[in-house]
Amino acid sequence: MQVAIPLFPRFTALDAVGPYEVLQRLPDVEPVFVAEQRGEVRTENGFLGMVADATFAEVPAPEVVVVPGGLGTRVLLEENPLLAWLRSVHPGTRYTTWACQVVCVS
């Protein structure tokens, strides 16, 4: 089961790392950090950088999506690549979840 954890500028690290730490221990679960581009994405305070291992285009059909919260979610109220990706994958996910924030993807 592929679990996508999208990273975006100013996300809250604990909201991404916490679910990752639990899910990566489960058999047959493949967590993947995904973003608009591969590479480093900085957290909300800029002190921590995490690496996106795949682009949104490379993860077209995850079974589960776990979106972290953080100040960076404010941009999700407007059109952007993350919101477009969420809208495209959501109809096929078993679960699309959010930490501390609700944004309508439909």
* Domain coordinates in residue numbering, the chain: 2-98
CATH superfamily placement of domain 2-98: Class I glutamine amidotransferase (GATase) domain (3.40.50.880)
pLDDT of residue 100: 66
* β strands within the chain, DSSP E: 2-6, 30-35, 39-42, 49-52, 54-55, 64-67, 95-98
Q: What is this structure's pTM?
A: 0.90
Q: What is the pLDDT of residues 27-65, one digit of tens each?
A: 999 999 999 999 999 999 999 999 999 999 999 999 999
Task: From 32, 37, 41, 55, select the one nearest 12 (Cα to Cα).
Answer: 41
Cβ atoms of 20 and 31 within 8 Å: the answer is yes
